[in-house]
Structure 1
Amino acid sequence: MEVLMDCYFEEVFKNLDRDCLFSRTKRRELVQYFWTVIAGCAKGETNECDYESSCRHFVLSALRYHEKSRNENGQVCLMGKYHNVLYVAAKLAFDWSLQDNYTVARLLDEIYSCEKTFERLFLGAIFGTTAPHFIAGWKSDFKDKEENVHALVYFLDHATNANLEYKDGDISRRFIDVPLESCGRSPPVRILVQIGGSEMLLILLRFGATLDLENTSTNPVETILDKLKESNRKYPYEMVTCLRVILRVIPTIKLTVDMNEYKNFDYEADYNYQRRTVLEKYSHMLEDHLIPSARCGLRPTELKHLCRCSIRHRLWENFQLPFGIRKLPIPVALQKYIDLCID
C-alpha cells in the first residue's frame, strides 16, 4: 500500500496541473478515488481487512509528498495541489476514522506550518458550507454543517490527545484557540460569541477553549451583556444561551475596570466597581434572572460551581478535557455537571 501511494505521487500526481485541486469538486473526486483504493488494498491484505493501516499509509504518503515538495522549494510551501493534498488526506482520515494519533497530529502540524491557521477546519463548522467561499474564497471539503462539526470534533480530539500547541510569536496556543486569519485573526470562541453560535460555543468550551477575559476589547461576557442590553428586553435566544454557557465556565463575571475612576486601584476598589456596574448598567438583566446574583459578586459564588471551575482547570492543564471527566470516580450526574452539560 505504501509503495503504491508513493508511486502515485511520484509518477501521476506530479504531472497534474498545479491548480488541479483548487475546485472542491476535484478534491472530492480525488477523495473518492483514494477511498476506493484504500478499501481495495485493505480487502487485499493477507491477514485481515485493515482499513486503519491502509488509510494511515495514504496519509503518511501525502505528508511525505508535501514535505518533499516544500524542502525542494527552500522550505516554502508551493501551495496549489502541493498543499491541497493535505485536505484530501484530512477528509480521508475523517471518513475512515483514522485513530493513529501520531499521524493525525503530523497532518495538523503540516497544515499549520504553511497556513498559520486552521480556518479551513473551523469555518465550515461555525458558518456552514456556503459562507467560507465568501469569507476566504474556498469551499469546505465536508458535505454539510453537521459533517463539518463532526470533523472538527474529530480533529479536536486528536489535537487534545497529542497535546498540540502552536507558536505565534511569543505566544503558544492550543489547536482550539488558534486565530482564524479570514476573520480578523479572532479566535473561534470570539467569533461564536459575536454571532450567537451557542451550540458550537458549548462544544469548544467543553474541549477547553479559553476565554480572553483580561482583554478589555474582547471580553466575551461584556460583549454578550452589551448586546442583550441593546435588545430592550427582547432577548435573542441564542445570545441568552451563549451567556448561560459561558457562566458555567467562569467563576464569576469579570467586568473591565475603568482605571480613570480608580487612581489608587486595589482589590476592594475592583470588587466595588464590579458590584456597582452590574447594579447600574445591567440591573434589568438581574431582574429578569439572566445574570445570577451569585455569579456577579452580589452573593457568594456557589461552592459547587467553584469546584467545577477548579477541576476543569486542572483537567485543562493536563489536556484531559472533556473525555478525562469520565475517568473521575464521581457519579454520572456530577460528570455531566463538570462537562458543562447541566447547570
Structure 2
Amino acid sequence: MDTFMEFYFDEVFNNLDRDCLSERFKRRELVEYFNSVIAGCAKGQEKTDDATCKNFVLSALRYHNSCKSNNGDVCLMGKYHNLLYIAMKLAFDWSLQDNGVVAALLDEMYFCEKTFERIFLGAIFGTSAPHFLAGWKSDFIDKEENIHALVFFLDHATNANLEYKEGDKTYRFIDVPLESCGMASPVRVVIQMGAAEMLMILLRFGARITVQDNIATNPVESILDRLKEYNRKYPYELVTCLKLALRAVPHVNFTVNKKQYQDLELPDDYNYQRKVALEKYGEILQDHLVPTSRCGLKPVELKHLCRCQVRQMLWSNFELPFGIPKLPIPVSLQRYLDLFED
C-alpha cells in the first residue's frame, strides 16, 4: 500500500490541476477509486481493511505535511488540502478504529483551517446549505450520513482528548467555532436552528452551553426570546431544545443589566435573576416551560445539581458520554445522567 501511494502521489497526483478536487463529484470519484484500492490491497496483502485504510490515511498525511513543509509550513490548499477530506471520507467509510491516526487527521485539518465546519455544517444544515454558507458541498451523501460521520469523529476526538488553542482560549473539538456562522459554537447554531436531535447529540458529548465574547446572551436565553415571539403557541422542536438545554446546565443564568435598576436602590444581595425571570419571561413561567427551580424562584433540586456535577467530572476526564455506563449506578440513573430523562 505504501509503495502504491508513493507512486500515485509522485507520478499521478502531482500532475493533476491544482483545483482538480474543488468539485464534490471529483472528490467522490477519487474516494471510490481509493475504496477499490484499499479493498484490493487488503485482499492481496492479506491484511485487514482497517490496517489498509490506516496506511492510506497515514500516506495522505505524510504527503500533505511534506508539501506544507516545502512551502514554509503553510498549507498549499487546493488539491493538497482537499486530500485531507478524501482521507476523512475514507476513514469514515471504513470505520477506521485507530484513534491516533484519526486524531492526527483532525489536528492537520485544524492547523490549516482553524475550524471543523466541513464536518459540522452538513450534519446541522444538510448537504446543500454549506454551499451557500461557505462555498463548498458536503463530502457525505445526505444529512443522515453527515450526522453519523459527526458522531464518528466526536467519538475519536473524545477518546484522543483533543483540545485546540486559539489565542488565550482552549476548545474541545465539539466547541470549535464555526467561521461561516459568525464564529458561533456548533451548539449555539443548533439551538438557533431549533434542531432538537442534533442538540441531543452535542449535549451528550459535552458541548458547552456558555456565553461567548461576541454574543451578549447565553443560548438558553436565546431560546426563551424566540419562544416569546410565538404568543404562547410554542413550536414542539423549540420547546424540546429548551428542555434538553435545561438538563445540561444547573440553572438559567439570565443576563442582568443592573444599571436599569439603579434608581430602585435595591440591596446588594437582591435576587436579580428572579426579577428578570418574572418581568421578561413571566408568560413562559406561567406555562411551566421552565421549572421555578431552574430560574431563581426556588432552590435547584439536589438531584439535578448532582447530575451537573457528575457530568462536569466526566467531561473533565473526556468520558462523556461513554463513561456513564462504567459508573456503578442503576440504569435509570445512567439514563438520567445521559440526559435521556429529567
TM-score by length of 1: 0.96
d(CA) in 2 for partners of 1:158, 1:268: 46
d(CA) in 1 for partners of 2:78, 2:16: 11
d(CA) in 1 for partners of 2:261, 2:169: 30
CA contact (8 A) 1:104 1:158 kept: yes
Question: 1:97 deviation in Å?
Answer: 0.3
Summarize the alignment of residues 158-197 of structure 1 with structure 2, pairs less than 5 Å apart: 158-197=156-195
Aligned to 1:6: 6
Aligned to 1:281: 280
Question: 1:280 deviation in Å?
Answer: 2.1
Residue deviations 1:110-147, cap 9 Å, x none?
10101010010000000000100111110000000000
Residue deviations 1:198-225, cap 9 Å, x none?
1111110110111114766141111111
Question: 1:26 deviation in Å?
Answer: 0.5
Question: 1:277 deviation in Å?
Answer: 1.6
Gaps of at least 5 residues in structure 2 are none
Residue deviations 1:178-203, cap 9 Å, x none?
11111111111111111111111111
Residue 208 of structure 2 is aligned to residue 234 of structure 1: no
1:159 alignment partner AA: A
Question: 1:266 deviation in Å?
Answer: 8.3
2:11 alignment partner AA: E
Aligned to 2:197: 199
Question: 1:59 deviation in Å?
Answer: 0.2
d(CA) in 2 for partners of 1:211, 1:284: 24
d(CA) in 2 for partners of 1:108, 1:241: 32
d(CA) in 2 for partners of 1:78, 1:56: 24
d(CA) in 2 for partners of 1:6, 1:68: 12
d(CA) in 2 for partners of 1:164, 1:265: 46
Residue 104 of structure 2 is aligned to residue 106 of structure 1: yes
Q: Secondary structure at the match of 1:166?
A: strand
d(CA) in 1 for partners of 2:55, 2:301: 51
Quote the sequence identity (%).
Answer: 66
Summarize the alignment of residues 285-300 of structure 1 with structure 2, pairs less than 5 Å apart: 285-300=284-299
Q: Secondary structure at the match of 1:173?
A: strand
1:277 alignment partner AA: V
Q: Secondary structure at the match of 2:171?
A: strand
1:255 alignment partner AA: F
2:291 alignment partner AA: P
Question: 1:267 deviation in Å?
Answer: 7.1
Summarize the alignment of residues 132-151 of structure 1 with structure 2, pairs less than 5 Å apart: 132-151=130-149
d(CA) in 2 for partners of 1:204, 1:214: 17
Aligned to 1:127: 125
d(CA) in 1 for partners of 2:195, 2:50: 34
d(CA) in 2 for partners of 1:265, 1:200: 42
CA contact (8 A) 1:213 1:254 kept: no
Residue deviations 1:66-103, cap 9 Å, x none?
10111111111111100000000000000000010000
CA RMSD across the alignment: 1.5
Residue 250 of structure 2 is aligned to residue 251 of structure 1: yes
d(CA) in 1 for partners of 2:76, 2:266: 53
d(CA) in 2 for partners of 1:234, 1:62: 53
Question: 1:7 deviation in Å?
Answer: 1.7
2:269 alignment partner AA: E
Q: Secondary structure at the match of 2:269?
A: helix
d(CA) in 2 for partners of 1:306, 1:250: 9
Aligned to 2:90: 92
CA contact (8 A) 1:5 1:57 kept: no
Bigger drift between 162-171 and 89-98 goes to 162-171
Aligned to 1:308: 307
Residue deviations 1:262-290, cap 9 Å, x none?
66998722xx1111221222121112110
Gaps of at least 5 residues in structure 1 are none
Q: Secondary structure at the match of 1:94?
A: helix
d(CA) in 2 for partners of 1:251, 1:10: 56
Summarize the alignment of residues 33-48 of structure 1 with structure 2, pairs less than 5 Å apart: 33-46=33-46
2:44 alignment partner AA: G
Q: Secondary structure at the match of 1:172?
A: strand
Bigger drift between 130-139 and 213-222 goes to 213-222
CA contact (8 A) 2:256 2:276 kept: no
Summarize the alignment of residues 21-32 of structure 1 with structure 2, pairs less than 5 Å apart: 21-32=21-32
TM-score by length of 2: 0.96
Q: Secondary structure at the match of 1:19?
A: coil
Question: 1:261 deviation in Å?
Answer: 4.1
Residue 224 of structure 2 is aligned to residue 225 of structure 1: yes
